[in-house]
Structure 1
Amino acid sequence: MEEGLVRAAIPRELVDVLGVEPQSSFKAKAFTEAFLKNSIQQPRRHDLQNMLSHKAVILGYSRPKKERRKSAKARGLNARQKRELKVFQIKPEHQRYELFLPLHELWRQYIIDLCGGLKPTSNPQVVQQKLLKADFHGAILTVVRSKCPSYVGTSGILVQEFKHVFKIITRDDKLKVIPKRNSVFAVEINGFVSHIYGSKFEYRASERAAKKFKVKGTIDL
C-alpha cells in the first residue's frame, strides 16, 4: 500500500511546485529515488582516531606480586632433646604428695563440671563415656588388680600420663611408675567409683580425647 502511494501520480497542485510533469513516469521515478535517498539517514562511519581519543582502552594490567615473607616457625624439641634435658623428669625435691593436692582439687572440679554434677541420679554409662576422654592429671588412682602383685594397692595422685604408663605420687612422697597394661585402676569422685582397664587405655591423653571408643563389656586380666 505504501509502495503504491510512493509510485502514485503527482497531484496537479504540486506539478508547478516540484517542476515535474504529471505524466512523466521517468521523472517521477527519478524524483522518488532522490527523495528516498535524501530522506533515509545513512549510518555514520566511525572515525577510529576519534573513538580512541574519547574512549578508554584497557590494554592489560597485572598487579605486582607482593613478596611473601617466610615466617620462621618455632620448632619444638624433639624426643631425643627432651630426654637429654630431662623435661619429663620430676626433681626429687618436688616429689611431695602435698604439692599436688591443689592439682587434685582442680581435677575434681573439672570432672564434676564435665559430668554435669555427678549426682546420685546420674547415668553410670554416660559418666563412664565422659571419663574415657577426660584428662586424669590430678586424679587419685588406686591399683585394684594387676598381673604383678606388687602393684596392687598402690595409690596416689597422677602427675604424668604417657602412652603405656602412669606416674603417680604416693602419700609417702614416692614416685611410682605403673604400667597400664595388665592393670586395673580405680578412681573415686564424690562417691562415684569408676574402673580403668589399663590394657584398653594405652593412648596418650591427647589421642584419647579424639578417639571413638566402642561400648564393650569389661575384660578380665
Structure 2
Amino acid sequence: MASSNPQPLTQELLARAHSPDSAARIYSDKIQHRPLYLRPNSPPPAANARAARRKTRDEKNRKRKSQKPKPLSASQRRKLGLYDVPKDGRRYAVFEPLKKLWIGYMREVLGSHLYTGGPTCAAKLCAAEYHGAEVEVTRSGCPSRVGLKGIVIKDSKFAFEIITRKNELKLIPKEGTMFRLYIPAPVQDATDTATTTPTDKNDESNNGFSFEILGDQFQYRSADRANRKFKAHYLEKI
C-alpha cells in the first residue's frame, strides 16, 4: 500500500547524492518554495510569428544599411580629384579614337538629315551627346577664347573641357559662347557603294555637315539634355 505522504522526487534524488540533513537543507532553501518556469513547446500564434519575422527582417535591414558606406558628395569627389584628368593622359592623340566614335555616333543619330538639316535635325542635335566632339569657339564674350579648338573630354552643366592639338587642357564656359562643330560625310569607295571609315583630315571639302550651337542654351548636363524637349524660339546673337 502506498504511503499517504510520498517523498517528492527531488528529495529522493538529493538523498542519493547528499546526507539526509544536507538533502533536507538544500531542498528547503533552494527548491521547495522556488517557482519552476516552463517554456511552452507549442508554436506561437501566426500573428505573433509574422510580427517576429518582420522585426527580425527590419533589424537585418538596419544593420545592412549601417554597414553600407555612404556615397561621396560632389565636394568630396572634387577634393579627391576624381574629376581631374591625369597629366599623363592630357594628350590629343589619346582622345582621337573617341572623336572617331563620336563621328560614327552622330552619323547614326542624324541619318539622312546629315545632308538635309531641318527642324528634326536641330531637335536631334539638342539631345545628342558631345563627349568626343571636336568644337571650335567662333564667338565669345571673351575675345581670347575665339579660335580655341579641341576635343570635348568633359561636358559639364556650365562648361566644356577640351584638349587641344597642342595637348593643352582648356575649360571654356558655355555662357556667352558660340561653338562650331563639323561632321565629315562618309567616304564612298570607288569600287563599292558601301561607306568606309572617315578620313582623319580636318578639311571640310567633302560636303560634310557643319553647325553651330549656342552655349547659353546648352547649360544642362548631358544626361538631363537627352530627355529634354527644346522648343524653337528667337535667340539674340552674341
The counterpart of 2:176, out of the listed 182, 202, 207, is 182
Specify the alignment match of 1:209 in structure 2: 226
- Aligned AA for 2:236? I
The Cα of 1:140 is off from its aligned counterpart by 0.3
Q: What is the deviation of 1:193?
A: 1.1
Displacement, 1:125?
A: 1.8
Q: How many residues in Structure 1 have an aligned counterpart in Structure 2? A: 161
1:30 counterpart residue number: none
Residue 115 of structure 1 corresponds to: 110
Query: Take 1:105 and 1:118, find their aligned partners in 2: how far apart are those partners?
Result: 19
Deviation per CA, 1:102-131: give whole Å up to 9, x if none: 1111111111111225442x3422111111
Rg larger in structure? 1
Correspondence list, 1:95-110, <5 A: 95-110=90-105
The answer to whether the aligner puts 1:64 opposite 2:44 as a matched pair is no
One-letter code of the match for 2:129?
D
> Which residue in the other structure is 1:148 paired with?
142
Aligned pair in 2 of structure 1 residues 168, 154: CA closer, same or farther (>3 Å)? same
Contact 1:128 1:194 in 2 (8 A): no
C-alpha deviation, 1:218, in angstroms? 3.8
Question: Secondary structure at the residue paired with 1:76?
Answer: coil
What do you get for the CA RMSD once the two structures are aligned? 1.9
Percent of aligned positions that are identical: 35
Distance in 1 separating the partners of 2:70 and 2:112:
40
Does residue 134 (structure 1) correspond to residue 128 (structure 2)? The answer is yes
Q: Secondary structure at the match of 1:64?
A: helix
Distance 1:202 1:119, change over 3 A: closer
Taking structure 1 as the reference length, what is the TM-score of the superposition?
0.67
- Cα contact 1:107–1:138 (8 A) shared by 2: yes
Does the Cα contact within 8 Å between 2:107 and 2:114 map onto a contact in 1? Answer: no
Q: 1:84 to 1:119 in 2, by over 3 A?
A: closer
Structure 1 stretches lacking a partner, 5+ long = 1-59
Q: Where does residue 23 of structure 1 map in the other structure?
A: none
Match of 1:85 in 2: 80
Scaled by the length of structure 2, the TM-score of the pair is: 0.62
Deviation of 1:89 after TM superposition, in Å, equals: 0.8
List per-residue Cα deviations over 1:143-166 (Å, max 9, x = no partner). Answer: 000111110010000001111111
Instruction: Report which structure shows greater RCO (CA 8 Å, sep ≥6).
Output: 2
| Structure 1 CA distance for aligned equivalents of residues 154 and 120 of structure 2 | 26
Q: Distance in 1 between matches of 2:173 and 2:95?
A: 21
State the SS of the aligned residue for 2:50.
coil
Matches of 1:132 and 1:102 in 2, distance apart? 23
| 1:195 counterpart SS class | strand
Specify the alignment match of 1:3 in structure 2.
none
Task: For 1:150 and 1:187, locate their aligned partners in 2 and report how far apart those are by CA, in whole Å.
Answer: 19
Q: Distance in 1 between matches of 2:144 and 2:160?
A: 15
Q: Are the aligned partners of 1:184 and 1:198 in contact in 2 as well (CA < 8 Å)?
A: yes
